[in-house]
């Protein structure tokens, strides 16, 4: 049992001023694996006060100094990679090999991309040749409240904390109380890098407590939140009275449009992507739209993928998916699978209950539904588990209509060998991202969506700009530069 009750405030590990103890549960065996404290208002206030006091000096540091701190964080992060991988695997159930290969390295990937973007970033820019005495200044917004989820812990922490550090903001991080251990390791890394006291602070807590305190705090200038649409709406309402900036990266219900001319691996690739991280990814392609001429074949292929996807403890080596994160998540997913059956979708793989041989732990059977209609619950709501819904379409226009008929708009996918068709769909699909033929977004591309998926753009130059205010200056003396 790990006992780690301290918060990181003003450059020190400190005991909570308020709050209560909370067990962290290992989802592979349903046993407590750590004890943390959930902070109270006094803890949030102390962390915000530290961040506010540090802001003036930190915001005025030379950008090269801030860059040097982040480069040091990157070096220590790599040194602590195994510690990070074990923490993530333990707290949220990512299989240890997947945690090493994908979960932990997502943090390194974002740090590297931010470093690259920052080296060419202009904090002071000319307005244009028509106004030689005008400048546009990009200035740090102030104290940022960072609220991160459990499903990709370091992916989201680095997407928020690193650009905040680089742009000159100070911050208070509240990781998910379900998966806080990796963020504690991250705080240790920031401390080891020598980041000045008060610049980075960590307070564990839940959304109702510390999350609300940060969202309503008058000295917090922005909230960057990743999580559910429900929580995002609550944060937006809570933050309204203090007029703070709110950046939301929320859920998704991605459509994977597979045409008859798609490559032979398209269906396998799509199903595996849906099941990756046990389906706990907001950009998972959970709606597979298949051109009718290859529909039956696609179902057969998806069933084979589901039936060959191994499910096992996160602590075991090997290529498999692990449990979902919690009992509540397990029950929610079971309810969706039963809802799909009750509403008339054709269950072709998986189903309710745990996989054979697993009677303990939050394990879900990789599940495939065919003959799904877009008005069914499993096609409308984010399940956040290894559940794939397959539906047919007859032509390009129908595929676009089905794909766009959703409240979400995070990532859509297109599979076709016809370049002109891919290009057309990429512009007509209503989402913040479109990935085609298995090609991932390039380094520095922004991550974010539209509609109920939120309006944030995280990563690269766009991720830096989210933490900056734009100031227009006239009467600038170019000769004095």
Pairing status of strand 387-393 against strand 433-436: unpaired
Residue with tokens 């509240």: 174
Q: What residues pair up with 34 in beta bridges, in sequence order?
A: 2, 24
Q: What letters, b where the CB count within 10 A reaches 16 and e where it falls short, cover 74-109?
A: bebbeebbebbbbbbbbbbbbbbbbbbebbbbbbbb
Residue 7 and residue 210: Cα distance in Å, rounded? 12
Query: 249 catalytic, yes or no?
Result: yes
224 with 466: CB under 8 angstroms? yes
Tell me the backbone φ, ψ of residue 246, rounded to 5 degrees: -125, 120
Pairing status of strand 367-370 against strand 346-349: antiparallel
Q: Where are the alpha helices (DSSP H) in 150-239?
A: 153-167, 181-192, 212-216, 229-239
Active-site residue, from 249, 435, 458, 466: 249
Residue 216 and residue 236: Cα distance in Å, rounded? 10
Question: Among residues 57, 434, 40, which one has the least CA distance to residue 252?
Answer: 434
Active-site residue, from 282, 291, 435, 466: 282
Query: 465 catalytic, yes or no?
Result: no
Per DSSP, the residues of 3-32 read E---EEETTEEE--SS-EEEEEEETTTTEE
**How far is it between the farthest Cα atoms of the chain?**
76
Catalytic residues: 249, 282
């Amino acid at each position: 049992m790990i006992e780690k009750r301290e918060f990181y405030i003003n450059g020190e590990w400190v005991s909570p001023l308020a709050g209560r103890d909370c067990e962290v549960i290992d989802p592979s065996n349903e046993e407590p694996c750590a004890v943390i404290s959930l902070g109270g208002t006094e803890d949030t206030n102390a962390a915000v006060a530290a961040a506010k006091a540090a802001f003036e000096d930190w915001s005025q540091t030379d950008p090269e100094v801030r860059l040097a701190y982040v480069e040091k964080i990157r070096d220590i992060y790599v040194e602590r990679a195994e510690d990070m991988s074990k923490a993530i695997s333990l707290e949220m159930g990512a299989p240890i090999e997947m945690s090493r290969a994908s979960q932990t390295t997502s943090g390194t990937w974002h740090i590297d991309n931010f470093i690259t973007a920052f080296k060419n970033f202009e904090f002071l820019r000319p307005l244009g040749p028509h106004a030689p005495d005008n400048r546009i200044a990009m200035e740090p917004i102030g104290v940022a409240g960072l609220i991160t989820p459990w499903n990709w812990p370091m992916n989201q922490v680095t997407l928020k904390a690193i650009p905040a550090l680089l742009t000159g903001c100070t911050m208070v991080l509240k990781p998910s109380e379900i998966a806080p251990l990796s963020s504690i390791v991250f705080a240790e890394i920031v401390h080891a890098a020598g980041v000045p006291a008060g610049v980075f602070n960590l307070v564990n807590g839940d959304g109702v407590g510390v999350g609300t305190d940060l969202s309503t705090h008058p000295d917090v200038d922005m909230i960057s939140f990743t999580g559910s649409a429900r929580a995002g709406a609550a944060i937006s309402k809570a933050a309204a009275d203090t007029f703070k900036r709110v950046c939301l990266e929320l859920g998704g219900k991605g459509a994977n449009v597979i045409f008859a001319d798609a490559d032979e691996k398209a269906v396998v690739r799509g199903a595996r992507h849906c099941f990756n991280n046990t389906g706990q990814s907001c950009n998972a392609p959970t709606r597979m739209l298949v051109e009718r001429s290859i529909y039956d074949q696609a179902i057969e292929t998806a069933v084979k993928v589901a039936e060959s996807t191994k499910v096992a403890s996160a602590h075991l080596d090997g290529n498999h998916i692990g449990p979902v994160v919690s009992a509540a998540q397990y029950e929610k997913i079971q309810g969706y699978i039963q809802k799909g059956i009750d509403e008339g979708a054709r269950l072709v793989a998986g189903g309710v209950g745990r996989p054979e041989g697993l009677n303990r732990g939050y394990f879900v059977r990789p599940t495939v539904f065919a003959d799904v209609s877009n008005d069914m619950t499993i096609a409308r709501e984010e399940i956040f588990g290894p559940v794939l819904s397959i539906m047919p379409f007859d032509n390009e226009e129908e595929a676009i209509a089905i794909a766009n008929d959703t409240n979400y708009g995070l990532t859509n996918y297109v599979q076709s060998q016809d370049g002109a068709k891919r290009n057309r769909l990429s512009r007509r699909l209503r989402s913040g991202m479109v990935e085609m033929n298995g090609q991932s977004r390039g380094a520095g591309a922004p991550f974010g969506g539209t509609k109920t998926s939120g309006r944030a753009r995280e990563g690269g130059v766009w991720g830096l700009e989210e933490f900056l205010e734009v100031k227009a200056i006239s009467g600038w003396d170019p000769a004095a530069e």
